Amino acid sequence: MTDRTTDLGSRLVDEIPHLRRFCFSLTRSLADVDDIVQIAIEKALEKGVPDDVTLRAWLFRLCRNHWIDEMRKKKTRSEAVPALMAAANDALPAERVAGDKMLLKMAQAALDNLPEKYREPLALVSVAGLSYKQASDELSVPIGTIMSRVARGRAMIADKVGYHD
């Protein structure tokens, strides 16, 4: 490998946790997450990364495009959630923290039922860390729409979980 390729490889490895989180927040499908991440990385290796893009944002775009092209029709969104919760309970020290475990459990149903039109901008902003402008570019919608949908998504989760006490 050339130094440039080696450097890209190292940077891609660093991005894997972020990609997995983003893909899961987008797809809610454990069965699909790693496949999408793998394909996105392989595409980046094969085609290279344009000089004028941020690597993470570029990879998110590859993931999202693949999801749209190949996976969205499969209707697999919630199949893996029970397995996810069980595995997380075994492996994560964080899951021993009762308060947050309860919060996550309460939020699970709200997250599962969040419509995609709100999930996508929320994933881009809250998980991927994109600005509203970047998210609007990614989704090809006005910034005002991003602002509205992000707020709407959060409001739906908050109101369904009932964070009122």
Q: Which residues bind other proteins (CB under 8 A)?
A: 6, 9-10, 12-14, 16-18, 20-25, 30, 33-35, 37-38, 41-42, 84-85, 87-88, 90-97, 99-100, 103-104, 106-108, 110-111, 122-123, 125-127, 129, 131-132, 147-148, 150-158, 161, 163-164
Structure tokens at 134: 């970047």
Whichever of 37 and 52 has its CB closer to other proteins, that residue is 37
Rounded Cα–Cα distance for residues 111 and 17 (Å): 20
Whichever of 68 and 83 has its CB closer to other proteins, that residue is 83
Smallest distance from other proteins to CB 76, Å: 15
Cβ atoms within 10 Å of 104's Cβ, excluding its own: 15
Whichever of 55 and 84 has its CB closer to other proteins, that residue is 84
Rounded Cα–Cα distance for residues 81 and 101 (Å): 15
Whichever of 52 and 90 has its CB closer to other proteins, that residue is 90
Smallest distance from other proteins to CB 3, Å: 10
The amino acid present at 58, given as its one-letter code, is W
Rounded Cα–Cα distance for residues 147 and 88 (Å): 32
Smallest distance from other proteins to CB 69, Å: 19
Whichever of 37 and 71 has its CB closer to other proteins, that residue is 37
Query: Backbone phi, then psi, for 36, in 5-degree steps?
Result: -65, -45
Using DSSP, state whether 29 is helix, strand or coil.
coil
Smallest distance from other proteins to CB 57, Å: 16
Rounded Cα–Cα distance for residues 113 and 40 (Å): 26
Torsion region of 22: left, alpha or beta (phi above 0 gives left; psi -120 to 50 gives alpha): alpha
Smallest distance from other proteins to CB 97, Å: 5
